[in-house]
């Protein structure tokens, strides 16, 4: 019994790690998502986690998803991986591959930039 309690005491630490990483992943992906929206690029999926979906809902044309494996996330923009734009319910103007290179660069950099902003907020919140 004592060894079982010993192993269970690690679950709270593991849960804390998953929640902290999940928060960091959320804000990183939120950076990409906001950049997509700022440039009027359609978003197919906003997912926290990888693998099979645990739960999801659709708002507008975007599916918001929580997936089983909490070790990543992604934001899927229209035209990012395939040319099937109209079949997904979007227009060619909403496709990321029709954007100039500087906009695609900002979209790519928005995730890491959001991590820097969160780090700055946490730093100044703790001092």
DSSP for 4-45, written as a single string: HHHHHTTHHHHHHHHHHHHHHHHHHHHHHHHHHHHTT--EEE
pLDDT in tens, 19-44: 888 899 999 999 999 999 999 999 99
* CA proximity to 77, closest of 22, 28, 29: 29
Give me the pLDDT at residue 94, please.
Answer: 87
Question: 């500087």: which residue's tokens?
Answer: 102
Active site positions, annotated: 29
**What's phi and psi for 24, nearest 5 deg?**
-65, -40
**Most confident region among 3-7, 8-12, 41-45, 70-74 by mean pLDDT:** 41-45
* CA proximity to 108, closest of 119, 91, 96: 96
Both tokens assigned to 49: 């986690």
Q: Check if the beta carbon of residue 109 is closer than 8 Å to that of residue 87.
A: no
């Amino acid at each position: 019994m004592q060894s079982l309690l010993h192993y269970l005491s690690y679950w709270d630490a593991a849960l804390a790690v998953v929640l902290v990483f999940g928060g960091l992943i959320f804000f990183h992906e939120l950076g990409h998502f906001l950049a997509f929206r700022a440039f009027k690029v359609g978003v197919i999926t906003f997912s926290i986690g990888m693998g099979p979906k645990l739960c999801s809902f659709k708002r507008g044309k975007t599916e918001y998803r929580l997936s089983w494996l909490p070790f990543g996330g992604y934001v899927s923009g229209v035209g990012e991986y395939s040319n099937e734009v109209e079949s997904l319910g979007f227009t060619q103007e909403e496709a990321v591959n029709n954007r100039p290179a500087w906009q695609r660069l900002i979209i790519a950099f928005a995730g890491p930039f959001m991590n820097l902003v969160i780090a700055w907020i946490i730093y100044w919140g703790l001092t």
